[in-house]
Every structure is written in structure tokens, then in C-alpha cells.
Amino acid sequence: MNGVENNCNGECHEIYPTEDGHIKQRVGDERILESNGQFCGAFYHVHEWGTREHYCLDETNCIIGQRATNENNWRVQAKTVVAVVKFEDENEEILYEARYTNCGEEQKHAEEFFKEDIENENGVLAQIVEDNPNGIITLYLTLQPCNQSTSILGTANTPACCETLTTIVNDILPPEITLCVKAANTCRLSLIPENDPDDETLRQNAVAGIKMLMEIEHVAVIWMEKDDWHYLFSLTNELENREDLEVHEGRLDLDKCVQDILAQIQDEINQDETGQNENDQDGIDQNGMDQNGMDQDEMDQDEIYQA
């Protein structure tokens, strides 16, 4: 726990035991994602959708597989979020790894424990960040960071993890550190409007949160690839990090779905920026005069004086 006192006393996380705490640093070759069933519920499970069939590593012990079996519905998806952080120096040497889990009792999300880990002055991660200002942080998540987008019944204290990550990047991390967020699945993230007003509010919030992150320098929000799965395999007790260990085709299909929606959102951002640039240029006519009659050279000089 590295000195961060935030363990709860109850059964607040379905996948990983609470005695481990919500911040679990990896020590040595420790397998912090543990069994196949736990890993599947945390990251790997593939839900049935369209022509894609479901895939589960351990239907008996994966919490999503259990729900799907009980409800006879293999379209059910993850509700419990797990995060894994990997900190690498500028030479891509791994210096820190940890697992974060949601806290049901305190209504805190995994990203908030990530923030606490970095802010803990007596912790290992805080010192590593300070010593490696050009490092790379990869944050693996069950679902993309939320933005008051998980439930319409939220309150003023409902987590907005996109804002939490924005605070981490802008106010805590050194400016040259790169944060790469990789989502195994999405929640309400779509560019297709919903018919229900509440669902539409949540959808808009989800998209706005991802746009918020994508627009920050040194932040990337992307999808899982084969190398990412091989890395996470290495954190389990039962799967080996072998180059010949195949990622299931259903999992690759789900990864492609995540890729598609994130790429569509990035395209919207790019289009908005292009439109803004064109509007800015329209303010200067062909004679080099802006709409208020100020010459472009005068505008540039005025900016220099103001600077």
C-alpha cells in the first residue's frame, strides 16, 4: 500500500480480495492479476454482440461469466473496474507496476486510487515519477475512464475519472511525462444518439470526457493490442507471456470495436480543430486586414507587446 491508508473493511470488490487493499504494488515477479477467472473478469472477457460470440477464460470463476450463466444472457458486460499501471523510464525499463480496484463502500474509482498513489509523498511511485520526468505511464483499464457517465442517479460526488486523470496530468505529473490510457472495453461511449433522454445524457458525458483527455498534450487514449495482452498475461498465475500465446479472435474483435469508436472521436476532434482554424483565417481578408480593420502585421506586433 506504500503508506496510503484507504483500505475498506467490507466486501467491496468482487474480483480481488479487500485485504490486498485498493492499491496493490507488484513486488518482484508477483502475479497481481492472479487466476484466469479473476483476469477474465478484470480485463479479458468478451461479451456476445452481433455476429461475435462470447468468450470466457473461466465461466465458473469469472464474475461476468457467472452473471451471464445465471441470467442466460451472454451480452452482459463488466461492471467492476480494475486498473493496472506500468511506469517505464525513457529507455522503456519498467520501474513500477501496480493494480488498482474500485471501492464500493467509499464510491471511489480505480483512477482515484491511482491519483492517491502518485500523490503519496512517502510512496514508491511518487519518488519514481520525480526521478524520471521523461517517463511513460501506461494505464490499463477495464472500461474507458468515466465522466459522470455510469449512472443518471449520480450525485455531485459522482466520480468523473476523466477529470481525475486531467488533474493528474496538469497538476501532479512533470510536464514531459506521457500518459497512455488503454481500455479493454467501453461504457456508453458512442457517437450514435440515444432515444432515451437519460441515456443520451450519459452518452454525451462519456464522449465529452474522452475528448477532454484526447485534447491534452502527452495524453493518448487508445485500444488494446496483442502486445498489451501478452503483458497482462504475464501478470497472471496461469497464463504465460509467450510470443506464441494467441489472443482469442473474439477478444481481437472487441479490441477493434474499441479502436473504431476511439478513432471516430479523434476524427471529430480533428474536424473541429480544422473548422476553427478556417474560421480564424476567415477573420483576415485578402488584403491582410482583419474584420476590425487591423493589419495582420499590426496584430502580430500587438501580440508581441502584450507578451
Q: What is the pLDDT of residues 44-81, one digit of tens each?
A: 999 999 999 999 999 999 999 999 999 999 999 998 89
Confidence (pLDDT) at 154: 54
Confidence (pLDDT) at 307: 27
Residues forming a β-bridge with 178: 136
Residue 96: CB atoms within 10 Å: 21
d(CA 122, CA 133): 18
| Predicted model pTM | 0.86
Handedness of CA 22, 25, 26, 28 (dihedral sign): negative
Which residues of the chain, if any, have pLDDT below 70?
1-11, 152-158, 240-244, 276-307
Confidence (pLDDT) at 278: 63
Record the cell numbers describing residue 165, joined without a space. 486523470
Confidence (pLDDT) at 156: 55
Q: Which amino acid is at 113?
A: F
Confidence (pLDDT) at 125: 96
d(CA 206, CA 265): 11
Confidence (pLDDT) at 153: 60
d(CA 181, CA 193): 25
d(CA 201, CA 245): 41
Confidence (pLDDT) at 279: 62
The CA distances from residue 41 to 50, 62, 78, in Å, are 21, 5, 7
d(CA 209, CA 202): 11
Residue 67's contacts (CB-CB under 8 Å, 6 or more residues apart) are: 76
Confidence (pLDDT) at 23: 94
Task: Report the chain's mean pLDDT, rounded to a whole number.
Answer: 86
d(CA 5, CA 11): 17
- Tell me, which fold does domain 81-239+246-269 have in CATH? Cytidine Deaminase; domain 2 (3.40.140)
Q: Quick check: 45 and 56 in contact, CB under 8 A?
A: yes
Residue whose C-alpha is closest to residue 125's, from 172, 166, 90: 172
Record the cell numbers describing residue 169, joined without a space. 496530468
